Structure 1
Amino acid sequence: MNFKHYTLGLMLSVAYPTFAQEQVKPNKEDDTHLEEIIVSTTRLPEVKRNTSSSVIVITQKEIESYAQLNSDMSVILGLAVPSIGLSSNTTSNRSQTLRGRQILVLIDGIPQSTPLRNTDRDLRTISPYAIERIEVIEGATSLYGSGGAGGIVNFITKKSNKDKAFSGSTSLALTDAFISKGKNTNGYKLNQQFNGKIDNFDYLVNAGVIKSGRSVDGEGEYISPRYGLGEVTTQNLLAKFGYDINANNRIEAMYNFYSALQNTDLVASGGKYLEAPQIGVIGKKDPAAKNEGTKYNHNAYLKYTSKEIFTNTDLEASVFGQKLYTLFDYRAHNPKSPRWEETGGQATIKAEKIGARVSILSKIDFTEDIKTNYIVGGDFLFDKTSQPLVDGRLWVPELKAYNSAAYLQTRTVFYNNLTLKAGVRYDNISVKVPDYKTIPLKKDQEWLAIQGGNLDYSKASLNAALSYNIINEFNPYVSFSQGLSIYDLGRILRDAKSDVVSKIETDPVVTNNYEVGFTSKLGNNWNFRAAYFWSVAKLGSDLQAGEGGFWQVVRNPQRINGIELTLDGKPIDWATVGGSFSSYEGKMKSDNSSSYDTYMSGLSIAAPKLSLFTTINPIKDLWVNLYYTHTSKRDRFTPTPNKAGVLTYQEGEGKVNPIDLFNLHTSYQYNKNIQLSLGIENLFNKTYYTSSSMLVARDAEYARGNGRYYTLSLTFNY
């Protein structure tokens, strides 16, 4: 038996069939019991073990451990969250849905998703070194308005937790593949943080730069630079300041800047689906091509909180803003598949948001045995989004959305063991579409003039859940929640065939999500959760390839159902083991069908995923974390003959083969102030194709994942 199979056997003998939600505790400072974690993204803060749905909290120590393997947020979430598929190893998170549906991504509650024209980049809007924790709500929710048909990912930024006037940390890291065929694969990471508290004033400033080298696969070949993560410079600046006016009143301000741009002399070459990967070779880019990536993403808020403004009542009010500019790859003119008047071009997305929130949190004790907490509030959001080409032509006109909403969320506890949660949110959304023209495919075609207008949506979204704390070993729950999403309106409008906006199918996706499950605390060392879920949407949001190789939205009704299992615990004092398993399937109704008879594409439905981990603390101040991730096969579609009679898969319907990956992270703490860490991504240097490249079934996207990469880092705390 070789070392790889021996290691897997050891992990399975200790952990199988265990499944984890809180996946790693790298040191004693983070040895927090599951029940002590408070979740805030539910808007009505609650202890995590009491939530009547699947909620995942990824702690700062866990984030830092994953970041030692790969600092890209889409990679981290693909490893850490059971129902999010593995990263595509590109800048796009197009195929990374949550339980098969769209994710609403937030930074401190500020929406990063752009529903008016989806960037597919919203998981990559912040550096992991600026994050205190990540809260993930799985399943449809409208708690923050449009976009949460599959759930929410909320990146909660760091804050000062020191009583000293000044403290800080400096981190230095080197990364490399050390593969003989590869050159210039080395990179670096620098991060500097200062924080402290002076009287009633506290502050935190965190700045970092990450420079990745060229990406190589397990055979040492350069990975295709198309949407690539190689030779990308990532910059992030977080500044947070707070002032305690008195014991009950506080004002806080936050600003976060993020940028990630690729600058490479590699160009994509070759690529034949199911035969050979597209790789990178030294070459010259088109002179008109700009460096692709996120040029800037600005986020800021100003928040005021007041405790006990009335008896048992707290107030929170905030204003926030976001400004984003993303550049996609340059597309040369392809005579076989013309686009943009038979010219090359490079698409961008520009988005701006301004919003405000106010909420009142209070409680009512009806009797000693019946107690209610509730939050009532209102949201306002102005969203402006467009998709111009770099040369100035408007592919999607500037769309403006005005969203106002009121909501009420309650939690009532009966006799300390029966909990009823219920809430309602009413959204009123108005999207203003100007008169515009679509860009024709051929240069001799006229631009189709579209008469604009207002698209108005009003929707009351409900949620309800019931949980019963019978015994520690069995706490069942049931829940129902609705999600609302204006799904990628710009994608629909840019290829419109009608001459009036009101004739175009633009209704939002409304998702009904159901979940039944239970949590268990087994003894003092083990935590287990099992859930079965299903969701239904009368208008779907699956994608299929259209003219020019660009995706189009399929609005057919959909149903998704699946299971999720998680468990973690300590079999012995110096080891923690666990893992997670998620499997779900989706079908939609074909045209004029009364049943769900057609499988949803792989762009929405990920292959089943099993994750296992072992964390050991063999000697004082030394921690070793071993991760294993397995994704299964998904083969739901039959290839059909193309024009030449060759059997081919339709785009988005490719066969996904299994993937097995091992990752290793170890750290040593010296004198509390110095930490040395080593991370090894793809420990056994496996050569594999990413799930996304397999399912998309495009020659130009058939690319491999990273080979073995090392990250050696040194952190000084003072």
Structure 2
Amino acid sequence: MNRTLSAITLALASTLAISSFHAHADDDGIERIEIHAERMPSELNAIARNVTVIDEDTLRQQFATAANLAEVLAKVVPGMAPPTPALTNFGTTLRGRNALVLIDGVPMNTNRNISRDLHNLHPSQVDRVEIFRGGNALFGSGATGGVIYIHTKTGQPQTAQQTTVGLKSSLTEIDGDGLSYLAGHTASGQVQGWLYRAAGSIEQTNGFYDADGDRLAPEPSQGDNYDSTIYSFDGKLSKEWDNQSLTLSMLWYALDQDSDYASDPSAAKDPYITKARAIKGLSLDKQNEINNLVLNAQYHRNLTADHSVNTQLYYRDYDARFAPFDGRKFATWNHLAQTYLESSNLGLRVTFNSKLNDKIELDWGIDASDERSEMPVTTFDSDIYNASQGLVFKSLGDKAFVPEISHKSLAAFVQSRAKISDAVALEAGVRYERIDASFKPFTTLGSQTAVTGSAYDYSSFVYNLGATYNLNDDHTFYIAANEGYELPDIGLQIRYANSQFDLSQSNLEPVETTDYELGWRGVIGPVSANLAYFTSSSDLGGVKSENMGLSLTRNKVRIDGFEASAKYLVHAAWALELNYSQVDGEEKAQGKTAYTVMNGFSIPPSKLSAVVNYDAGNGWTSQLTWLNVAGDDYRIDGKNAFARRDTQSYNVVDWQNSFELGQGTLTVGIENLLNKQYFSLYSQLQRNGNNTSSIPGRGRTLAVQYQFNW
């Protein structure tokens, strides 16, 4: 292995494959791999934090045994909580905290946090993903755990068309009810200097079955994508001319569920842990939905040889609907109701890059956004619901749950990079942000309390510092201190407000985190490796809702952990990759003196994944992926509570294969190859507190997909 190149690629040991990532060659002929999860492109091996980059080829292999991007990342990214069976990234934390999800720089997070940030695009739209860990001052609110930067696919110079067809079926119960299919088409090329891409797909997902051959019950808390039609479309135009470039893009993703199945409520009475049961006969007009439209314009111009500007203007229109919830026994709900979110966001980013000399470079600029969101509920007839034993939902109309919230932000930032010597590099940055929040008058759903509107503004000042030291071509050490912040979910408090509620008097101080990270990247013979130790603390954690909002608390939080990745090149055809992470967290309640362990939805148990890669050299590549999630006891004094159970370990083995066949590529995957019956961490913790959320993992499932190149 070329030693100079290995020093660059070793930082990618936490990925499943080291491949091409928009690389370029300098005058010295050395390939420089750049990532964009900072503000401007930066060499990967010069970053003072742990970064994972997953390329398109690896994603295509992993998608053969995963339903969405959230599952892929949760399986293979160290520090990220294990996958869930639901249509949510609730509990899928990164280093025990929330991550900011960006699609081509556009934030998917909303202040009314509904935890679907990783479920807003189709796998066919993803080019590569960069996971940038730790508190982040570069992108603003929401990045206390890190940044997940998703790049979508772009046009290619050569005219090409590609048709994709796919089938997926359970192998434990083979019938039409368990068969899903996919069809898509892509056109790409160049016209008068403009690169273009236009792609669309339709996917019909039906039922899934566990290892015993039983149909998986619907997830009644956060929802799922069973019996859904999924549509996607993306288009992109880009052109470079006279030291400038322009990219215009549109991305649309829609999921519409239409199922005849509900979760049998009688399972709630069974002893822990009994798997949820699916029952037929559901009558519900509108079920789980996602509609995500993103319009994006990016303009880059080289002002001089040493100065450039990058401008991004984006608009996002988003709505999502959840499964109904029986909140009649809770005073804060007092209804049988179904929530949905309607949100829009208009944003602007302007970033200047200035090279002051051969050693110092600055990124500086402004971010601005205007987000509007509201969360009504559809209410249902209780008598009809009771008579049907939880199967028939007759709408009584909509009511307000969370009123329209305006969330405006304006920020200025400066990020510097300095090359002190051939061995030492420093980075430092600051960000100042002001956020104005307000809501209109409304009446609460449960207590029917009239709440007057109010407004509140706050500001946050955060920094980041880092240093890298290249001992030689094979070993790099780094150390970093970073701050991050996020505004707590305003809607979580407003929906349970009393008549005296006022934003300026509520418990809405931002979560401000301080992170420290120490890491090493190195190559030792045929092994490239990556080690990182991190700590994170905050005087105030996120708002915790207990007893359906009757108690809202903010706890002091401290987290630490360890991540390790290694890739062993056995020989030209075989490679072994290992990824391990362990996260520990404690919290101290307000007015208390002792710390207690954080719950399982915040701090996952240790996770180990191993991937055996085989490249036959004749167009066949194969991966065998093993995921081990350890057990952990999250109870306090041995008592069960929300997200506090004594969880058991489990193992899942997947097999992915790719074949160059004719004018295309055939991908074949078998999920849960050994057909083990298991309950994910999410299901063991029971999101809704009873067995109707205890959804087993999918049993042995076959997925076949063929991409034909015209």
After the TM superposition, which residues 142-291 of structure 1 pair with which residues of structure 2 at under 5 Å, given as runs? 142-160=137-155, 162-164=156-158, 166-180=159-173, 184-226=177-219, 227-244=223-240, 246-269=241-264, 270-271=266-267, 272=270, 274-285=272-283, 287=284, 289-291=285-287
Aligned equivalent of 2:313, options 304, 319, 324: 319
* Cα separation, 1, equivalents of 2:660 and 2:197: 23
C-alpha distance after superposition, 1:310-361 (max 9, x if no partner) = 2311111121010111001112464x446644x3211001110001111111
Relative to 1, partners in 2 of residues 1:339 and 1:140: Cα closer, same or farther, differing over 3 Å? same
* Cα separation, 2, equivalents of 1:19 and 1:691: 28
Match of 2:458 in 1: 457
- Indicate the larger mover: 415-424 or 222-231: 222-231
Match of 1:602 in 2: 600
Q: For residue 438 of structure 1, what is the amino acid of its counterpart? A: T
Match of 2:610 in 1: 612
Contact 1:542–1:604 (CA under 8 A) maintained in structure 2 = no
Residue 467 (structure 1) aligned with residue 468 (structure 2): yes
C-alpha distance after superposition, 1:656-708 (max 9, x if no partner) = 2101010001111135x321121011111111111101123432211111111
Contact 2:100–2:147 (CA under 8 A) maintained in structure 1 = yes
Q: CA deviation at 1:482?
A: 0.9
- Indicate the larger mover: 70-79 or 413-422: 70-79
Which SS does the other structure have where 1:406 is aligned?
strand
After the TM superposition, which residues 29-428 of structure 1 pair with which residues of structure 2 at under 5 Å, given as runs? 36-115=32-111, 117-160=112-155, 162-164=156-158, 166-180=159-173, 184-226=177-219, 227-244=223-240, 246-269=241-264, 270-271=266-267, 272=270, 274-285=272-283, 287=284, 289-294=285-290, 296-307=291-302, 309-332=303-326, 334=328, 336-337=329-330, 340-341=333-334, 343-365=335-357, 371-390=359-378, 391-428=397-434
Which SS does the other structure have where 1:260 is aligned?
strand
Q: For residue 313 of structure 2, what is the amino acid of its counterpart? A: V
Q: CA deviation at 1:249?
A: 1.4
* Cα separation, 1, equivalents of 2:22 and 2:346: 36
Relative to 1, partners in 2 of residues 1:587 and 1:19: Cα closer, same or farther, differing over 3 Å? farther
Relative to 1, partners in 2 of residues 1:19 and 1:321: Cα closer, same or farther, differing over 3 Å? closer
Relative to 1, partners in 2 of residues 1:249 and 1:552: Cα closer, same or farther, differing over 3 Å? farther
Q: For residue 429 of structure 1, what is the amino acid of its counterpart? A: I
Residue 668 (structure 1) aligned with residue 659 (structure 2): yes
Relative to 1, partners in 2 of residues 1:698 and 1:553: Cα closer, same or farther, differing over 3 Å? farther
* Cα separation, 1, equivalents of 2:174 and 2:157: 51
Q: For residue 604 of structure 1, what is the amino acid of its counterpart? A: S
* Cα separation, 1, equivalents of 2:332 and 2:441: 22
After the TM superposition, which residues 646-661 of structure 1 pair with which residues of structure 2 at under 5 Å, given as runs? 649-661=640-652
Long gaps (5+) in structure 2: 1-10, 379-396
C-alpha distance after superposition, 1:525-545 (max 9, x if no partner) = 432111110101111126454
* Cα separation, 1, equivalents of 2:601 and 2:203: 29
Q: For residue 451 of structure 1, what is the amino acid of its counterpart? A: T
Which SS does the other structure have where 1:207 is aligned?
strand
Which SS does the other structure have where 1:711 is aligned?
strand
Relative to 1, partners in 2 of residues 1:558 and 1:469: Cα closer, same or farther, differing over 3 Å? same
Relative to 1, partners in 2 of residues 1:29 and 1:624: Cα closer, same or farther, differing over 3 Å? farther
Aligned equivalent of 1:520, options 517, 522, 539: 522
* Cα separation, 2, equivalents of 1:97 and 1:565: 17
Contact 2:21–2:33 (CA under 8 A) maintained in structure 1 = no
Q: For residue 387 of structure 1, what is the amino acid of its counterpart? A: M
After the TM superposition, which residues 496-507 of structure 1 pair with which residues of structure 2 at under 5 Å, given as runs? 496-497=497-498, 499-501=500-502, 502-507=504-509
Q: CA deviation at 1:653?
A: 0.8
Q: For residue 410 of structure 2, what is the amino acid of its counterpart? A: S
TM-score, reference length from structure 2: 0.90
Residue 631 (structure 1) aligned with residue 626 (structure 2): no
* Cα separation, 1, equivalents of 2:12 and 2:48: 19
Runs of 4+ in 1 over 4 A off after TM superposition: 27-36, 336-339, 550-553
Match of 2:540 in 1: 539
C-alpha distance after superposition, 1:246-282 (max 9, x if no partner) = 2411221010001112211111114345231112121
Match of 1:574 in 2: 573
Relative to 1, partners in 2 of residues 1:44 and 1:417: Cα closer, same or farther, differing over 3 Å? farther
Q: CA deviation at 1:553?
A: 5.2
Match of 1:529 in 2: 530
- Indicate the larger mover: 469-478 or 120-129: 469-478
Q: For residue 224 of structure 2, what is the amino acid of its counterpart? A: G
* Cα separation, 1, equivalents of 2:128 and 2:398: 39
Q: For residue 680 of structure 1, what is the amino acid of its counterpart? A: I
Relative to 1, partners in 2 of residues 1:56 and 1:631: Cα closer, same or farther, differing over 3 Å? same
Contact 1:91–1:293 (CA under 8 A) maintained in structure 2 = no
Contact 1:492–1:552 (CA under 8 A) maintained in structure 2 = no
* Cα separation, 2, equivalents of 1:614 and 1:553: 46
Q: CA deviation at 1:388?
A: 0.7
After the TM superposition, which residues 13-24 of structure 1 pair with which residues of structure 2 at under 5 Å, given as runs? 20-24=13-17
TM-score, reference length from structure 1: 0.89
Contact 1:575–1:615 (CA under 8 A) maintained in structure 2 = yes
Q: For residue 300 of structure 2, what is the amino acid of its counterpart? A: T
Match of 2:619 in 1: 621
Which SS does the other structure have where 1:405 is aligned?
strand
Match of 2:582 in 1: 583
Q: For residue 129 of structure 1, what is the amino acid of its counterpart? A: S
C-alpha distance after superposition, 1:58-100 (max 9, x if no partner) = 1111111111112312211111211111221111211111111
Relative to 1, partners in 2 of residues 1:619 and 1:132: Cα closer, same or farther, differing over 3 Å? closer
Which SS does the other structure have where 1:56 is aligned?
strand
Q: For residue 375 of structure 1, what is the amino acid of its counterpart? A: D
Q: For residue 353 of structure 1, what is the amino acid of its counterpart? A: N
Relative to 1, partners in 2 of residues 1:422 and 1:551: Cα closer, same or farther, differing over 3 Å? farther
Equivalent pairs counted in the alignment come to 669
Q: For residue 683 of structure 1, what is the amino acid of its counterpart? A: L
* Cα separation, 1, equivalents of 2:48 and 2:435: 29
Long gaps (5+) in structure 1: 1-17, 641-647
* Cα separation, 1, equivalents of 2:485 and 2:160: 44
Q: CA deviation at 1:590?
A: 2.6
Residue 509 (structure 1) aligned with residue 505 (structure 2): no
Contact 1:35–1:48 (CA under 8 A) maintained in structure 2 = no
Match of 1:687 in 2: 677
Q: For residue 249 of structure 1, what is the amino acid of its counterpart? A: Q
* Cα separation, 2, equivalents of 1:627 and 1:123: 21
Which SS does the other structure have where 1:329 is aligned?
coil
* Cα separation, 2, equivalents of 1:228 and 1:627: 24
* Cα separation, 2, equivalents of 1:83 and 1:273: 32
Contact 2:409–2:433 (CA under 8 A) maintained in structure 1 = yes
Contact 1:181–1:221 (CA under 8 A) maintained in structure 2 = no
Match of 1:709 in 2: 701
C-alpha distance after superposition, 1:2-42 (max 9, x if no partner) = xxxxxxxxxxxxxxxx99411136x9999999984311111
* Cα separation, 2, equivalents of 1:681 and 1:702: 20
Q: For residue 522 of structure 1, what is the amino acid of its counterpart? A: I
Contact 1:147–1:487 (CA under 8 A) maintained in structure 2 = no
